[in-house]
Amino acid sequence: KIYETKTPYKRLMESGEIKEDKKSELTRLKKSINLYELNGEIAMLLNELDNAYSKKYSNNNNFNINFELNYSNKEIATKCL
């Protein structure tokens, strides 16, 4: 069998469990989110967290991760919609 993968957003919209005004509100909210920008912000915060950890535990130099934003706008849109 082949199943179509659906995001939680799509499943909720198709479920009939929410009112039309809530659907409109969620759709507006979804359209207002810039996934590329959000992913960059997450990467920046992860780097800050890693730097704080490295400073606290400076004797363990093996733990140093550099989080980078490796997605193009198209890839993010494809993965998140």
- pLDDT tens per residue, range 10-56: 999 999 899 999 999 999 999 999 988 999 999 999 999 988 888 88
Task: Give the model's pLDDT for residue 30.
Answer: 92
Asked whether the predicted pLDDT for residue 60 surpasses 80, the reply is: no
C-alpha to C-alpha distance for 62 and 65, rounded to whole angstroms: 9
**pTM, entire model:** 0.49
Amino acid at 11: R
For residue 77, name the pLDDT band (cuts at 50, 70, 90): very low
Q: Residue 16 carries which DSSP code?
A: S
More confident residue, 49 or 80: 49
Do the Cβ atoms of 13 and 23 come closer than 8 Å?
A: yes
Beta-carbon contacts of 40 under 8 Å, excluding residues fewer than 6 positions away, are 69
Task: Give the model's pLDDT for residue 23.
Answer: 94
